[in-house]
């Protein structure tokens, strides 16, 4: 029995930590809120404050808009499709509700077959994607790859000369895409004395450090994320680029920088023009910005669950939405072209030995290259699950207590339930 299968048994037997509304302390309670219930920049990623903050991310953070456009794509609905589906006797919605989910949307073909919300979330509220943003930016980078403007075998410093002499000078664009860039910088979400907390999070403008938000340009060497990439991140001399998968968000910041430099506009405008106004989005989206007000490519995007599902449908259908080409098909097939070297890179990282991922490619988590089953994943339990063989897209937002998404106990329970649901839909 695999790790996630054991966890499914635990949750269905009541072994998971309760996360129902009646167990949740009040947050933003009253007008004005009580001191105990007040969400702040400092506590907005801590549970239970995160349940409110993840749905109101522009309150504790600075953001810029990604407007929708064009005709809204409305889903046909057939939610009775899951009437007989259970996971060990528990309904799909109840499995997710018991495991810190805020939203769940399931699309089979073009039909919406399930939609649920918890913890104050609803169909019209944007939720933080966190690192699912990486997959969004990577999918757009395919436009540059197809046009020949971005060569995966070149160094990022060829496109962003400021990176010459940095840790990213010795790597290829593909190494960056696969988080196999051999960096000495460790991404640590829990140690308040780590480089992540002291330098990276303040530059991202997504973490709290006393006085950090008040600094002005020129008062610190590391003001925005681009400064962090050029002045702080160092190579690991013992790790050859391409050898080992080692998840590091700085890679996505480099990719976002290249995309903006080559397209010569801000990332929020790029997402608007290349994706958001082409997928029949129902609502505007928005993206958090760093201390220099540059959109955070590594984890700042916010959108509704149904709009995330529209994006997922386009990715599932290899760049086509409502019969129109949005993104290049070849690029959206590339992430599931898994080679032995990609598997080996994942296997060399012991943190993922208990998980079902076979590779991390083009900033997507790969489950099965033969059925083309893969995910975009963000910390605290954000997922866009895509299974091309079953014609399924599932989106779930969460406010898991632990930041480390794929290693948190709730994560594999939801992922396993989603995979079972996808197979059930394919058999109907």
- Measured in degrees and rounded to the nearest 5, phi and psi for residue 378 equal -125, 155
- Measured in degrees and rounded to the nearest 5, phi and psi for residue 105 equal -130, 130
User: Structurally, how many domains does the chain consist of?
Assistant: 1
Q: Is the preceding omega at residue 32 within 30 degrees of 0, hence cis?
A: yes
- Measured in degrees and rounded to the nearest 5, phi and psi for residue 393 equal -130, 135
Q: What share of the chain is helix, strand, coil (3-state, %, to 5)?
A: 35, 15, 50
Q: Classify residue 31: in a domain, yes or no.
A: yes
Q: Classify residue 205: in a domain, yes or no.
A: no
Alpha carbons 77 and 306: distance in angstroms, whole number: 12
Cα dist from 150 to 268, 270, 344, whole Å = 20, 16, 26
CB 127 within 8 A of CB 92: no
User: What pLDDT sits at residue 185?
Assistant: 81
Longest dimension (CA), the chain: 62
- Measured in degrees and rounded to the nearest 5, phi and psi for residue 241 equal -55, 135
Q: Classify residue 162: in a domain, yes or no.
A: no
Q: Classify residue 423: in a domain, yes or no.
A: yes
Contacts of 355 (CB under 8 A, 6+ apart): 3, 4, 406, 407, 412
Question: How confident is the model over 370-407, as pLDDT tens digits?
Answer: 999 999 999 999 999 999 999 999 999 999 998 876 77
H or E, element range at 145 = helix 132-147
Output the domain CATH number for residue 121.
3.40.710.10
Q: Which two tokens stand for residue 291?
A: 């201390």
**Between the CA atoms of 131, 134, 136 and 138, what dihedral angle is there, to the nearest 10 degrees?**
-160
Q: Which two tokens stand for residue 365?
A: 């988590």
CB 130 within 8 A of CB 406: no
CB 297 within 8 A of CB 94: no
Q: Classify residue 265: in a domain, yes or no.
A: yes
Q: Classify residue 178: in a domain, yes or no.
A: no
**Between the CA atoms of 312, 313, 319 and 322, what dihedral angle is there, to the nearest 10 degrees?**
-140
Alpha carbons 23 and 7: distance in angstroms, whole number: 21
Closest CA to 203 of 240, 230, 165, 235: 230
Distance spanning both ends of the chain, measured CA to CA: 27
Q: Classify residue 326: in a domain, yes or no.
A: yes
CB 332 within 8 A of CB 318: yes
Low-confidence ranges of the chain (pLDDT < 50): 1-22
Range of the structural domain that residue 398 is part of: 3-10+17-142+256-427
Closest CA to 98 of 394, 410, 403: 410
Contacts of 378 (CB under 8 A, 6+ apart): 128, 129, 130, 131, 132, 133, 299, 405
User: What pLDDT sits at residue 352?
Assistant: 85
Q: Classify residue 208: in a domain, yes or no.
A: no
Pairing, β 101-108 against β 111-117 = antiparallel
Question: How confident is the model over 32-51, as pLDDT tens digits?
Answer: 999 999 999 999 999 999 99
User: What pLDDT sits at residue 195?
Assistant: 79
User: What pLDDT sits at residue 405?
Assistant: 65
Cα dist from 293 to 61, 204, 206, whole Å = 11, 9, 12
H or E, element range at 416 = helix 410-427
CB 385 within 8 A of CB 405: no
Q: What is the 3-state secondary structure (H, E, C) of 168-234?
A: CCCCCHHHHHCCCCCECCCCCCCCCCCHHHHHHHHHHCCCCCCCHHHCCCCCCCCCCHHHHHHHCCC
Q: Where are the beta strands (DSSP E) in 254-391?
A: 285-288, 301-303, 320-321, 324-325, 359-361, 364-368, 373-378, 382-387
CB 295 within 8 A of CB 136: no
- Measured in degrees and rounded to the nearest 5, phi and psi for residue 247 equal -55, 125
Alpha carbons 120 and 124: distance in angstroms, whole number: 11
CB 138 within 8 A of CB 364: yes
Residue 340: count other Cβ atoms within 10 Å of its Cβ. 8
């Amino acid at each position: 029995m695999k790790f996630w299968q054991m966890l499914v048994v635990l949750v269905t037997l009541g072994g998971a930590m309760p996360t129902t509304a009646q167990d949740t302390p009040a947050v933003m309670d009253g007008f004005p809120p009580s001191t105990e219930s007040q969400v702040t920049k400092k506590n907005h990623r801590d549970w239970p404050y995160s349940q409110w903050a993840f749905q109101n991310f522009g309150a504790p953070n600075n953001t810029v808009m990604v407007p929708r456009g064009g005709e809204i794509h409305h889903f046909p609905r057939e939610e009775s499709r899951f009437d007989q589906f259970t996971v060990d006797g528990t309904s799909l919605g109840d499995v997710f509700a018991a495991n810190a989910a805020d939203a769940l949307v399931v699309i089979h073909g073009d039909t919406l077959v399930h939609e649920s919300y918890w913890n104050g979330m609803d169909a019209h509220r944007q939720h933080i994607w966190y690192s699912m943003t990486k997959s969004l930016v990577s999918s757009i980078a395919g436009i540059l790859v197809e046009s020949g403007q971005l060569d995966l075998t070149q160094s990022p410093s060829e496109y962003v000369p400021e990176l010459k002499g940095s840790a990213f000078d010795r790597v290829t664009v593909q190494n960056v895409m696969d988080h196999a860039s051999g960096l000495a910088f460790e991404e640590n979400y829990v140690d308040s004395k780590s480089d992540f907390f002291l330098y990276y999070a303040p530059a991202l403008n997504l973490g709290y450090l006393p006085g950090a938000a008040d600094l002005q340009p020129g008062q610190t060497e590391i003001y925005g994320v681009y400064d962090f990439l050029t002045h702080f991140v160092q190579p690991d001399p013992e790790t050859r680029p391409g050898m080992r998968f080692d998840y590091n968000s700085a890679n996505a910041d480099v990719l976002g920088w290249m995309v903006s430099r080559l397209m010569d506009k801000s990332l929020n405008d790029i997402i608007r023009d290349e994706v958001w106004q082409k997928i029949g989005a129902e609502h505007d989206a928005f993206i958090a910005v760093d201390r220099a007000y540059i959109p955070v490519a590594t984890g700042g995007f916010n959108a509704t669950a149904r709009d995330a599902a529209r994006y997922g449908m386009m990715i599932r259908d290899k760049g086509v939405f409502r019969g129109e080409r949005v993104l290049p098909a070849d690029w959206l097939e590339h992430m599931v072209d898994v080679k032995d070297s990609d598997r080996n890179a994942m296997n060399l990282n012991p943190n993922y030995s208990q998980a079902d991922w076979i590779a991390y490619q083009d900033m997507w988590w790969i489950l099965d290259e033969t059925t083309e089953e893969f995910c975009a994943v963000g910390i605290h339990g954000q997922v866009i699950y895509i299974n091309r063989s079953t014609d399924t897209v599932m989106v779930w937002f969460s406010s898991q207590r632990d930041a480390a998404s794929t290693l948190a106990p709730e994560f594999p329970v939801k992922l396993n339930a989603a995979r079972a649901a996808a197979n059930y839909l394919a058999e109907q």
